[in-house]
Structure 1
């Protein structure tokens, strides 16, 4: 079995200072920004993913150690390992992965970390269980837990189960943060891929009050005429 140190050594060997500077700006790590103090060392996602696949036998306790790292790519590697482990895990292992994930949401603190893991782990675990935890997350004071809640439904949307996405979108409809508006609009767009008529019914009674960013994401695949209709106040 591998250790957190093994993964860290491989990730750091792939570091690129020039890329780190670009990523730090892209992910808003400046003072007062949403990722203030997050540290990037410049490892692209495909490289991090490739490295993670070489260490899938790393115990969950070691991955948890990586989740506490201040380095973004190390937290990502841990999450990518957890996602792959979840796919092949038995019931007890899935429960452990899910509980560890929710116990460390403070470490899953950027939109890319949420988006590559929430649907697979949280959505995957809760799909045939009580969905109440998602509603608690959606009403959390923590931004990233709110994003986890809505993005976790992505897996369900693909299977045609749309109710929770729409209910959570209602809860987040007036959210002030752009990252939640974008995520909610994105999931609404996914709903529209499965059932455009249902998305339109949802929008028809809400589009005038929806934040424009959320609405633009939701109607991105509509015709120009349809987009014009919904974008008018």
Structure 2
């Protein structure tokens, strides 16, 4: 199986573009490992190699995916996450513990975090809602990527926009826990969650923002109200 991983690494090195590598690094505050390969190219590579491994067991594909995650490169993580997401119909209730371990151990920037949460964790908690309490508990983690994940995991893609169908009890509980978080990427994460929740119920999110706007960091507040009408935005932004 290591041959597959080595071949992927070899191809990624061949696709390396210096300008793309510089651009990739500009998106992140933290140091990132990147080959400098555009995402559409990486996704095509992931699909091509998945055809070669789809006959394998779920467990073996998970092992290959973890090997890619261990490399630390953004593009390798993209491939790993794409493969695991393709297996969502085969997830068992116990797979959550594997995903939680990966999230804590290998996810080290917002790009990997969001990709993993949207395409792996969210489908998992839709299949097995009993794990929602665990996701909410990440809001107390020392690991900022777990804290961001506690919010982003409630977001899903619906058509061309992001939304959440989860209960406001869960969403507001996570927002309460993250309300005063010092990390701006965590603030953006829960602000994004609130914005996504506003797609289905703008009033409840607006009321929540108004109750907390004196304490809520402006970064989170701006994200939360982004889809609201100008009049409501103005009210929310008034000090």
TM class by shorter chain equals 0.7 to 0.9
Please, what TM-score do these two structures have when normalized by structure 2? Answer: 0.85
Is 1:177 matched with 2:190?
A: no
Equivalent residue for 1:31?
A: none
Equivalent residue for 1:76?
A: 78
Q: Distance in 1 between matches of 2:91 and 2:131?
A: 19
CA contact (8 A) 2:136 2:170 kept: no
Question: RMSD in angstroms over aligned alpha carbons?
Answer: 2.1
Q: Distance in 1 between matches of 2:38 and 2:181?
A: 30
Q: Distance in 2 between matches of 1:50 and 1:158?
A: 28
Q: Which runs of 5+ in 2 are unaligned?
A: 55-60, 158-162
Measured after TM superposition, the shift of residue 90 of structure 1 is 4.7
Equivalent residue for 2:16?
A: 15
| Aligned partner of 1:46 among 40, 45, 62 | 40
* Structure-to-structure mapping, 1:19-168, within 5 angstroms: 19-28=20-29, 35-36=30-31, 38-56=32-50, 57=53, 59-86=61-88, 88-91=89-92, 95-96=94-95, 98-105=96-103, 106-127=105-126, 128-155=129-156, 158-159=164-165, 161-168=167-174
Equivalent residue for 1:208?
A: 214
The structure-2 alpha-carbon separation of the partners of 1:131 and 1:160, relative to structure 1 and needing over 3 Å to count, comes to: closer
Q: Which runs of 5+ in 1 are unaligned?
A: 29-34
- Structure 1 counterpart SS, 2:174: helix
- Structure 2 counterpart SS, 1:159: coil
More helix by share: 2
- Structure 2 counterpart SS, 1:138: helix
Deviations 1:115-171 (A, max 9, x none): 112133222222322422112211100011111111111139543533212210111
CA contact (8 A) 1:192 1:199 kept: yes
Deviations 1:48-87 (A, max 9, x none): 122112222262111111111132211222112111222x
More divergent stretch after superposition (66-75 vs 189-198): 66-75
The structure-2 alpha-carbon separation of the partners of 1:129 and 1:120, relative to structure 1 and needing over 3 Å to count, comes to: farther
Q: Distance in 2 between matches of 1:6 and 1:95?
A: 30
Deviations 1:96-128 (A, max 9, x none): 3x3332112231111111111213322222232
Q: Distance in 1 between matches of 2:4 and 2:171?
A: 37
Q: Distance in 2 between matches of 1:143 and 1:160?
A: 22
The structure-2 alpha-carbon separation of the partners of 1:23 and 1:212, relative to structure 1 and needing over 3 Å to count, comes to: same
Q: Distance in 1 between matches of 2:164 and 2:136?
A: 20
